[in-house]
Chain A
Amino acid sequence: MDLYLPIANLPVNTVFIIGLGGLVGLLSGMFGVGGGFLTTPLLILYGIPPTVAAASAATQVTGTSVSGVISHLSRNTIDVRMGVVMVVGGTIGAVIGAGLFSLLQSIGQMDTVISLLYVLMLGSIGAMMAWESGQALIRMKTGARPPARKRRHHPLVASLPMRWRFYKSGLYISPLAPLLLGMVTGIMTMLLGVGGGFILVPAMLYLLGMTTQVVVGTSLFQVLFVTMAATLVHSLTTKAVDFVLALLLLIGSVTGAQIGTRISRRMQPEYLRVILAAIVLVVAIRMALGLGWRPDEIYTLEVR
């Protein structure tokens, strides 16, 4: 069954889009990531204009992260103070992202920058995750204990002025560090339609040195509110949020997320992370190849 998308201005196969949402939701439920990093490229491959894809994917991530945030709130595993600082940063980032968006569009380099960012981001995060989860697997098999952490947080973080106490994270650091981190993910949310969870989580662990128990909850908290901000900024600037597309994606992804959560409870986290690392790397490699291959269309049109 086909459905016409009023903002993207083209008909799409309903079953395909819901299925895509479902797949992304399944992954997000299983791995606790937003899944935007899969939605946007897949929508673009399907023929949805990149701007509409990124904007609507951001809206979708809002929906998929809601139930996660609620369950973390009830388990008291969110550092709200830290989260609010990052959301403020993320909102500023979304506005900066909007500026970058129109700049890149006017010089016609939007597609290239999106692809390059994806390759860099997914490539490095995927490689890091693969290495780390591989080590964890080996330790699990051999029964060796994980090596002790050498330092609390990165020296750069410690050198920033002004210090706040973040009790739940067990930190006494400058709020500028999470603010900047929030800004970076805000920009990426705006440009790529990703929640940025898979950047936030390692950064919170290894750069800020937050207590592990609150990392995932706080990252989801920031993702929820920053994707909301990005949806609003997109509505106001690019006007590219497609309500119907977002609704279709959400029908699939909220359902998939529930199923994914159940699967994840039956699997060992070490294996889950290896699988996630593999998926991230495959997407990164596919996009890297896409940059080098001769594209299907040499010419692109832009109304102006």
Chain B
Amino acid sequence: MPARALRLACLPAFALMLGGASAPHLVPDVSQRQIDIQYSFKGAELLLFGAIAYPDGRPPDKPADIVVVLKGPERPIRIREKQKVAGIWVNADSMQFQSVPSFYAIASSRPIEQITDERTTAIYELSITNIQLSPTSFSDTAEIARFERGLIDLQQREGLFVQRPGTVEITDGLLYRVRLPLSARVVVGDYTAETFLIQDGRVVAAAVRDIQVRKSGFERFVALAAERWPLPYGLAATAMAVLMGLLAGWVGRRV
């Protein structure tokens, strides 16, 4: 996290050095600042949009590109790999990654490799394969890469890592918009939507919006109760089961 904060904080200064007063900046927004997970939650679609503000109000002759990254809270993850041992598949090797974003979606106005070089892509984590997962292992890079591939593949199929090149629409070089899907399996927490303006392969402006994903209503109450008051929660679940059984027995005797 600190690395990203530093990177973003440095940007204006960087831009000033480059172009002085002529540096553009971004005015981003999202369709929902807060996403409520409720009984009917089946995932959500977020609209990320905004304006590119150029000092003279006109877009440059050579159009700039927009990259939007939506990121969920980072968590330490242990990934286990199954191997066939004595005829059955069991978890054998495992690896620990310290900072795996629980959700990562990236969209861009053109494929990333046409927008910027590999170095910039790596610095700003502008593709799924460039997410800093921070493995805590000292094993050889081939092994780390194998686990990273497994993790990324799994997350992509679960809809938790999403890559949508070429989906950011830019209108008149000034307004941009893109839709990103939020999987139903997302975890609660603080999400960030980062927007990057890239010109001639360089990031010239960046901005962040925070999005809060949380459970609400009954779902929030249940999750909270299970966490904070485990004994009453367990008793309530047991009582519910007994009552349902009694009720069915009572109805059954009368039908």
**A residues bordering B, Cβ < 8 Å?**
2-4, 6-7, 9-11, 59-60, 62-67, 70-71, 108-109, 111-112, 116, 228, 231-236, 239, 241, 243-244, 246-247, 250-251, 254-255, 257-258, 261, 291-295, 297-304
- Collect the chain A residues with CB atoms within 8 Å of residue B20's CB: none
**B residues bordering A, Cβ < 8 Å?**
37-42, 75-82, 84, 87-91, 94, 96, 100, 147, 150-151, 153-154, 184-185, 187, 215, 218-220, 222-223, 226-227, 230-231, 233-238, 240-242, 244-249, 251-252, 255
- Collect the chain B residues with CB atoms within 8 Å of residue A236's CB: 230-231, 234
9 A-B contacts (beta carbon < 8 Å): A116-B88, A254-B247, A295-B82, A295-B89, A297-B154, A299-B154, A300-B91, A301-B151, A304-B76
- Collect the chain B residues with CB atoms within 8 Å of residue A112's CB: 88-91
CB of A109 within 8 A of CB of B91, answer yes
CB of A108 within 8 A of CB of B237, answer no
Given known A-B contacts A292-B89, A299-B154, A300-B80, A6 and B222 have beta carbons under 8 A apart = yes
| A6 partner, pick from B40, B84, B88, B219, beta carbons under 8 A | B219
- Collect the chain B residues with CB atoms within 8 Å of residue A228's CB: 238, 241-242
7 A-B pairs with least C-beta separation = A66-B245, A235-B234, A67-B249, A254-B248, A63-B241, A258-B252, A299-B150
- Collect the chain A residues with CB atoms within 8 Å of residue B77's CB: 301-304
CB of A300 within 8 A of CB of B241, answer no
* A236 CA to B227 CA, complexed, in Å: 9
CB of A304 within 8 A of CB of B78, answer yes
- Collect the chain B residues with CB atoms within 8 Å of residue A10's CB: 184-185
How distant is A62 from chain B, measured CB to nearest CB, in Å?
Answer: 4
CB of B42 within 8 A of CB of A2, answer yes
CB of B39 within 8 A of CB of A4, answer yes
- Collect the chain A residues with CB atoms within 8 Å of residue B233's CB: 235, 241, 243
CB of A292 within 8 A of CB of B231, answer no
| A232 partner, pick from B215, B218, B231, beta carbons under 8 A | B231
CB of B231 within 8 A of CB of A70, answer no
How distant is A259 from chain B, measured CB to nearest CB, in Å?
Answer: 9
- Collect the chain A residues with CB atoms within 8 Å of residue B40's CB: 2-4
- Collect the chain B residues with CB atoms within 8 Å of residue A292's CB: 87-89
| A255 partner, pick from B80, B96, B222, B248, beta carbons under 8 A | B248
CB of B240 within 8 A of CB of A250, answer yes
Q: Which residue of chain A has its CB nearest to the CB of B229?
A: A235
* A70 CA to B250 CA, complexed, in Å: 11
- Collect the chain B residues with CB atoms within 8 Å of residue A59's CB: 237-238, 240-241
CB of A234 within 8 A of CB of B234, answer yes
CB of A250 within 8 A of CB of B234, answer no
Q: Which residue of chain B has its CB nearest to the CB of A62?
A: B241
CB of B80 within 8 A of CB of A60, answer no
How distant is A151 from chain B, measured CB to nearest CB, in Å?
Answer: 37
Given known A-B contacts A62-B241, A247-B240, A231 and B185 have beta carbons under 8 A apart = no
* A257 CA to B245 CA, complexed, in Å: 9
* A62 CA to B235 CA, complexed, in Å: 12
- Collect the chain A residues with CB atoms within 8 Å of residue B230's CB: 235-236, 239
CB of B219 within 8 A of CB of A67, answer no
CB of A231 within 8 A of CB of B41, answer no
Given known A-B contacts A2-B42, A4-B37, A258 and B81 have beta carbons under 8 A apart = no
How distant is B186 from chain A, measured CB to nearest CB, in Å?
Answer: 9
CB of B241 within 8 A of CB of A108, answer no
| B80 partner, pick from A232, A244, A251, A299, beta carbons under 8 A | A299
CB of A66 within 8 A of CB of B227, answer no
- Collect the chain B residues with CB atoms within 8 Å of residue A7's CB: 222-223, 226
How distant is A176 from chain B, measured CB to nearest CB, in Å?
Answer: 28
* A9 CA to B227 CA, complexed, in Å: 14
CB of A301 within 8 A of CB of B78, answer yes
CB of A67 within 8 A of CB of B222, answer no
CB of A9 within 8 A of CB of B187, answer yes
CB of B241 within 8 A of CB of A250, answer yes
* A291 CA to B84 CA, complexed, in Å: 9
- Collect the chain A residues with CB atoms within 8 Å of residue B252's CB: 67, 258, 261
How distant is A122 from chain B, measured CB to nearest CB, in Å?
Answer: 16
* A64 CA to B237 CA, complexed, in Å: 14
* A22 CA to B161 CA, complexed, in Å: 36
| B240 partner, pick from A234, A235, A243, A304, beta carbons under 8 A | A243
Q: Which residue of chain A has its CB nearest to the CB of B221?
A: A6
Q: Which residue of chain B has its CB nearest to the CB of A258?
A: B252
- Collect the chain A residues with CB atoms within 8 Å of residue B90's CB: 109, 112
* A147 CA to B244 CA, complexed, in Å: 42
- Collect the chain B residues with CB atoms within 8 Å of residue A257's CB: 248
| B223 partner, pick from A6, A234, A294, beta carbons under 8 A | A6
Starting from the known contacts A7-B226, A228-B241, A304-B96, 13 additional A-B residue pairs (CB-CB under 8 Å) come to A10-B184, A11-B42, A64-B245, A67-B246, A108-B78, A112-B88, A239-B226, A243-B240, A250-B240, A254-B248, A258-B251, A258-B252, A301-B79
